[in-house]
Structure formats: structure tokens, C-alpha cells
Chains A and B, each alone.
Chain A
Amino acid sequence: MNGGPALEAIDVVAGYAPDLPILHGVSAHVEAGEVVSVIGPNGAGKSTLVKAIAGLVEVTSGAVRLHGRDITGRRAHRLAAEGVGFVPQSENVFATLTIHENLIMGGAPMPKSVAMERIREIYGMYPVLQERMHEKAGVLSGGQRQILAVARALLTKPRLMLLDEPTAGLSPTAAGELFDVVRGLSERGAAVLMVEQNAKAALRNSDRGYVLAEGRNRLDGLASVLLSDEEIGEIFLGQRRDAVGPGGVE
């Protein structure tokens, strides 16, 4: 590990079609041991940002660095091997594979014996997964699915964890448990970048936060400061009152 923050995104321009950027130069950084939230209205480009960092969306200009090393344009599976874990917003488990097979997928970058050992550890941490290891992931409940999705990404002990709305659709209790898992990750030294719909809950469980709007940085700062910021209330409670869904009410 050499100098620089665990993750550093500098002026990232990225999108799904060559001539149609969604991110117009977004910057963010996460230190090791830190939990950082990305919040913003629907369509702001939050998912696009984490996908660009994970190597799923092409970065057309700007740079992404991992512990000071430039990883811009590196392909997703290589990043996974270098310690980037990613839990996408939707379809984040393999519904047609069993729980055990989902975990095996997560261990792809490691030698088989190491991966099997890690799967045993994961089963120790989440006994519910072990109980149902031979069932298809598609039959799991929402909360169990999210746990499996995080567990799959955890398998390689990533140094940077990217979570895209991990608590969406969860009950407050389940969401609370998930935030505990996230905290645990950072306490073990990982850097966590977490996209959240529920701005308040997210900021309460983070060290810092970024607010994105229309593919640009809008605000950033310490979570406690952002929590009391009026503009955030404007962005979220003004425009998106209707979008306060199940995990959106505290």
C-alpha cells in the first residue's frame, strides 16, 4: 500500500454512450477506515459514479486512484482482484444460483482453497446463509438478499467497498443491521463508499458525505455538518417528498 487515500476520484466524466456523459467531472475521496455517503436526487448519477469506480462504466476523462495507484479504465474483474468490492443497486445476487454458489462466485479472484475457507468464515458470521446454502438466492427475502449480496462482495476482504443503496426496501431493523455491518467493515480498515436514498440515515452512519446533483458535485463535508445543512433538506425534502419509501422514514 502506497501513499494516497484508499479511493480518489478526480474530475470523473463518464456515461453510457460516448457522446452522452452522465457525470460531468465528479470528484470524491475516501480514506481507509472511513465511511462516506453519496446522496442526491434520483438520476443524479450516484449509481453511475460507483459503477465507473468499479469499472463497469467507461471513464472518458478524469482519473480514479486506489491507494495512489491509477486504476482508470481497468476492467471490473481486475479491480475485484485488487480489493474493490461492489454491491450494485439492483440484481445484486445471482437469483438462479444457490446461496453457496453465489459465495463461490464472490471468491473467483482467490485460489479455491482460500475461497472455501473464507466461505466458511462468512457462514460463521451469517448463520442464516449457511442454513439455506443450497437454496436458490432468488427465493430469499429482501433483507437476506442484501446480506448475501454484501457477503458475496466481502468474500475477498476488499480494501474498498462500494455499496449502492444497500438498505433500499429494508425494514428499519434490517437497515440498522446492515449499517452495523458497514461500520464493522470500516473498523477493520476498509474504505466504504455508500450510495443511499435515505440521506438522514446514511449520514448518521457515515463520517463524511457527498451530495451529487445532475452529474456534478453539489456539496460535501462532514456528515454531522451536512445533517444540519439546510440545502440538503431543500434537495431532498423539497423535491422528493414523494420518494420517501420504506427505509426512508426514520
Chain B
Amino acid sequence: MILQHIADGILSGAIVSLGAIGLSFTMKLLRFANFSHSELLTWGAYSALVFLAFFLSFGGFLDGTIGPFSFGPALLLAMLCSCAATSVIAILLHRFVFDRLSRAAGQMTMVFASFGVALILRHLVQLIWGSDPIYYSNELQFAVLLPGNVRVMPDQVFLLVLTMFVVAALHLFMTRSRTGIAMRGVSENPDLARVSGINVDRIITCVWIIGASGAALGGVLYGTTVQLRPELGFGLILPLFAAAILGGAGSLYGAVLGGLIVGLSENLSVMIIPTTYKPAVPFLLIVAILYFRPQGIFGERSR
């Protein structure tokens, strides 16, 4: 039983990790808490639905499933397109709302604005696609039985592998590429980066692309392993913040580890508290970490 909870925790934690990476980066780089970040997961999930329908309309090899999974090449392509579409949304929001406000007003104004943006994004989804749950596919899947009587779906295994792949790729990007190094430099000291010749606006755009793509992947994987609902992202606001704050703003591994901790604590909590209170667990984590180690597990103390 406990093993099953651990497995479920890791799986839901992987989705939180993917979403939290972007939140953590933007929190560090733009110095504001973006309450609308989780809505990017919703938009990622729903825009993949549109691309999926498009690719499926071609039929042929696109329309079919791969191995034991519930999805086929069409969803993989849709996932990539959704990363691009979600990045465009994020960049537009940055350009027309957050960037303007950061120049004209302060960070707190950006936080309010992100409230409003979240409200708009969430309810637009409800307007366009309705409030009923949607699934990418009606394929039936058979759970795989792992040792210890743990059941996982093949899609969940895919989710975990893809997350690990994304994290590894990001690690290489952040340590090997000049853009990745510049991202780290900008988040530590934007002015020094500027005088070194880094175009900070370009780096911020890169951060939004990475953050939005992570969110889109998280959203699509949520849609694959759970379902699509307009409140998908809303329910993840606190888990994402908990993961980003636990890990320390700006830290890749922090966000990933934070996501896993959040997923595990949520799923293990049902052994001691009623399931109905599960959504409060990330909040308790946030309060605990802010009280005892405000810079997060991996974060450096802010200057």
C-alpha cells in the first residue's frame, strides 16, 4: 500500500516538477510570484487537444498507438506544437502585461496582474472547451504490475521517463550552452550580465520559452494520465509554488526535487489525514519551509 502511494507520489510529483521549473526561474529572474503560471499547464493541455485533432485528421500512421501506450505519434507531435503555442502565450503575456508593469510599477503590481491573468486564462478555457472533463484518447490501457504489488499505467512510465529526459537536457543546456550559462548569470546579477554584453531581454524570452514548454509538457502529461479540466492548473497553483519555494527560486534541481517532495507528501498524507484535506498539504509545506529555511533547499540567501 505504501509503495503504491510512493509510486503515485513520484508520478504526480513529476508533473509538478515540470511546471515548477518555469515558475522557479521566473520567480528568480523577474522577482515576482506568478499566480498565472499554472494556467499555462491548462493551456498546454488544451492546445494539444487542438493540434491532436489536426494531426489525427491526416489518419495514416499518425492515427494509432505506440506499443502499450494510449497515444500515438499524433499526440507526440501535438505535444511539441503545444510547447510552441504555450510559449507564444507566455511571451505575449510578458510583453503586454508583466514587462510593462515591471517597468511602470512594482513587483506587487505584477502579482495582482498575474491574479487577473490567471482568472482570464482559466475562464477562457472554460468558455472555449466547456467545463466537462475531456480525454485525449479512449484507448483502454492495462496497468503493469510491478514488484511490491504496485500498479502503474504505461503512460505513467512514459511520463516519468520524459520528465527525466527533460531534466537531463535542461541540465546540459544550463551548464554547457552559452545561453544557458547566461541564464544563470542573469538570474544572479542582471546588471553585471548587461555590461558583459548579454541581451537580458533575449534571455528573459528564453526563460519564458523554457518555463512555458515545461508547463505545456506537464499539462499534456496530466491530460494523458488524468484528464483535462479547466481547473487543471488552478488546482496546481499551491503545489507549484510549494515545489518552487521548497527548491529555492531559480534552482533547476530544487524545482525538480521540490516537485517530487510535494507529490510524495500529498500522496503519503492520505495515510494520516482525510483525503479531502489533501489540497492543503502543499500549503503546509510552504509555511514550514518559509518558516525554517526561506531560501529553499538549494537556494542561496537573497542579497
Contact = CB atoms under 8 A, between A and B. Distances in A.
- Report if A and B touch in the complex (beta carbons < 8 A): yes
Given A77-B194, A108-B178, A97 B188 contact: yes
Contacts of A153: 195-196
A91 interface: yes
Nearest to A91: B189
A138 to B, nearest CB: 9
Contact of A54 (B178, B181, B195, B303): B195
A156 B181 contact: no
Nearest to A84: B195
Given A88-B191, A94-B192, A109-B197, 11 more contacts: A75-B194, A77-B194, A79-B195, A80-B194, A92-B192, A96-B188, A97-B188, A101-B184, A105-B181, A105-B192, A106-B197
Interface in A66-84: 75-77, 79-81, 84
Contacts of B182: 105, 108
A88 B192 contact: yes
B173 to A, nearest CB: 13
B194 A97 contact: no
A200 B182 CA distance: 38
A165 to B, nearest CB: 15
A91 B194 contact: no
B121 interface: no
B195 A56 contact: yes
Interface in A142-173: 152-153, 156
Contacts of A188: none
Dominant SS at the B interface? helix
Contacts of A81: 197
A153 B194 CA distance: 12
Contacts, number: 73
Interface string A103-133: 0111111001000000000000000000000
A3 to B, nearest CB: 26
B195 A108 contact: no
A79 B178 CA distance: 19
23 contacts: A54-B195, A55-B194, A76-B194, A76-B195, A77-B194, A77-B198, A80-B196, A91-B192, A92-B192, A93-B192, A94-B188, A94-B193, A95-B188, A101-B181, A101-B184, A101-B185, A104-B178, A105-B182, A105-B192, A108-B178, A112-B178, A152-B196, A153-B195
Interface of B: 178, 181-182, 184-185, 188-189, 191-200, 300, 303
Contacts of A79: 195
Contacts of B300: 96
Task: Give 4 closest A-B pairs by Cβ, nearest first.
Answer: A80-B197, A109-B197, A76-B194, A108-B197
Contacts of A104: 178, 181
A236 interface: no
Given A96-B184, A97-B181, A101-B181, A108 B198 contact: yes
B177 to A, nearest CB: 10
A55 B193 CA distance: 12
A152 to B, nearest CB: 7
Contacts of A56: 191, 194-195
A84 B196 CA distance: 9
Nearest to A96: B188
A86 interface: yes
Given A96-B184, A112-B178, A105 B193 contact: yes
Contacts of B192: 88, 91-94, 105
